[in-house]
Amino acid sequence: MSVIRVGVVGAGSVAQRGILPHLSQPDLANRLALTAICDPAPGRAHAAAEKFSIPQQFTDYADFLIHADVDLISLATPIGMHYAQGKAAILAGKHVHFNKTMTTTSAQATELIDLAAARGVKIVASPGEMNRPHNQAIKQLIADGAIGELCWAVCGASFGRYHETEIYRQGNDPLSNVDPSWYYRKPGGGPMYDMTVYALHGLTGILGPAKRVTAMSGVRIPMREFRGQMVACDADDNTLVLIDFGNNVFALAYGTPAGAVSEDDSGSFFGTKGQIVGLNLNGTPIDYAGSTIADSHPEGRWSGNQWILPYVTGTHRDIAEQHVFVDIMQLIDWVNGGPPPIASAQHARHVIEIIEAGFAAATTGQTQTLTTTF
């Protein structure tokens, strides 16, 4: 097994709270070396390099691609930048991990998938929600008829003020003054690309590829306040997507400014003989691989589900964003000859098409037929 040299692009919130702390742990020294960091914000790459003992630092991405000693790149940048940055990385011969949504259109995703195959590099797009034992168990329960004939499901997420109140955005130094404005702007902003993408990966991982979508969508909160400044919001933040899985099985996915009708990122599933709501089957907690360990977490089973993911042992249990760490590690093992990871680019493309088609349906008033699968 070779030691893979990893560079991280973007030293904002997700990189600081999860990616950089995980990849800099000494227990990974025989598998990876965190060799470079890139961020254009004044002083941020330098501060991150010092904090996490990263030998190379860059403020310009083109310079990073030319001079950084890396085999694999983790893109922790705004979603709207992923397509261009990912394409440049693939052309430079680098393996790529995309944090959350890989692109904003399925055509862009197809281009990157085809380009990576042609260049002989590997790409992975988070989130790998089917790595989670509870999603694997829910899929099996439905297949075994535990809730009878499945009729419909619901999943989604809401923004709230989560991105505005993180500790990485409240200070005055380069590592704590991260501006969240991109979350509210096109391309790539809004809760569908940023948060509901988790729920859609879980939903489609459990139910399989979808067939058609229709939707209503728009901007409900046109202005937000951040540290005394008003931020104009043009990315849709209030979206309801109706998804057809075939054979008259339907689901509702939502990405909204507030509210929830499902638990965490997990969907709820309703059948003729019962229901799975969150982590409960007909009101009784589901048993799944590692659920006893998850229950031992001080904050309960939902938080404990991070502890039972692959690779999450020792100090990694105490670091946030364990699921992102897992997706990166599966890519590293894949590069070293291991099996392809669960977080496939093809699955990501299908989820992207659901989101993209939802917006198109809302704009045109016409149901959209999906063309991708996984």
75 and 85 in contact (C-beta within 8 Å)? yes
Q: Please indicate, yes or no, if residue 317 is contained in any of the structural domains.
A: no
- Quick one: 296 and 360 in the same domain? yes
Residue 146 has pLDDT above 90, yes or no: yes
pLDDT band at 135 (very low <50, low <70, confident <90, very high): very high
Contacts of 109 (CB under 8 A, 6+ apart): 102, 103, 345, 348, 349, 352, 353
- Quick one: 85 and 135 in the same domain? no
Contacts of 81 (CB under 8 A, 6+ apart): 75, 188
pLDDT at 162: 84
Q: Please indicate, yes or no, if residue 330 is contained in any of the structural domains.
A: no
pTM of this prediction?
0.97
Give the Cα separation of 139 and 52 in Å (integer).
39
Q: Please indicate, yes or no, if residue 250 is contained in any of the structural domains.
A: yes
Q: How far is CA 136 from CA 54, 74, 100, 129, 282, in A?
A: 36, 26, 20, 9, 18
Give the Cα separation of 73 and 5 in Å (integer).
9
- Quick one: 139 and 221 in the same domain? yes
- Quick one: 155 and 214 in the same domain? yes
Q: Please indicate, yes or no, if residue 355 is contained in any of the structural domains.
A: yes
Task: Write down which residue in 89, 105, 125 finishes a domain.
Answer: 125
Residues pairing with 270 in the sheet: 152, 275
pLDDT at 255: 98
Q: How far is CA 273 from CA 25, 154, 220, 251, 281, in A?
A: 47, 17, 37, 18, 11
pLDDT at 263: 87
pLDDT at 266: 83
pLDDT at 143: 98
* Residue 204 token pair: 């489609």
Task: Write down which residue in 91, 125, 159 finishes a domain.
Answer: 125
* Residue 268 token pair: 């709820």
Give the Cα separation of 358 and 354 in Å (integer).
6
pLDDT at 139: 98
CATH no. for residue 68?
3.40.50.720
CATH no. for residue 197?
3.30.360.10
Q: Please indicate, yes or no, if residue 319 is contained in any of the structural domains.
A: no
Query: Is the bond preceding residue 187 a cis peptide, omega within 30 degrees?
Result: yes
Mean pLDDT of 127-151: 98
- Quick one: 36 and 93 in the same domain? yes
- Quick one: 365 and 238 in the same domain? yes
Residue 327 has pLDDT above 90, yes or no: yes
Give the Cα separation of 54 and 70 in Å (integer).
12
Task: Write down which residue in 85, 104, 125 finishes a domain.
Answer: 125
> For 16-142, where are the E strands, in sequence order?
32-38, 56-58, 72-75, 95-98, 123-125
- Quick one: 105 and 178 in the same domain? no
Domain span holding position 254: 129-308+350-369
Percent of the chain with pLDDT over 70: 100
pLDDT at 136: 97
- Quick one: 252 and 190 in the same domain? yes
Q: Please indicate, yes or no, if residue 333 is contained in any of the structural domains.
A: no
Q: Which three-class secondary structure state does DSSP give residue 46? A: helix
- Quick one: 162 and 176 in the same domain? yes
Q: Please indicate, yes or no, if residue 13 is contained in any of the structural domains.
A: yes
pLDDT at 264: 84
- Quick one: 240 and 148 in the same domain? yes
- Quick one: 224 and 146 in the same domain? yes
The continuous run of DSSP H or E covering 267 comes out as none
If you average pLDDT over every residue of the chain, what do you get? Answer: 97
Q: Please indicate, yes or no, if residue 374 is contained in any of the structural domains.
A: no
Contacts of 281 (CB under 8 A, 6+ apart): 141, 146, 147, 274, 275
- Quick one: 120 and 150 in the same domain? no
Could you report the per-residue pLDDT of 279-293, keeping only the tens digit for each? 999 999 999 999 999
Beta strands 4-9; 32-38: pairing state: parallel
Could you report the per-residue pLDDT of 168-214, keeping only the tens digit for each? 999 999 999 999 999 999 999 999 999 999 999 999 999 999 999 99
As for how many domains the chain has, the answer is 2
Could you report the per-residue pLDDT of 36-81, keeping only the tens digit for each? 999 999 999 999 999 999 999 999 999 999 999 999 999 999 999 9
Could you report the per-residue pLDDT of 235-281, keeping only the tens digit for each? 999 999 999 999 999 999 999 999 999 888 889 999 999 999 999 99
Entry field: residues in the chain: 374
pLDDT at 243: 98
Q: Which three-class secondary structure state does DSSP give residue 230? A: strand
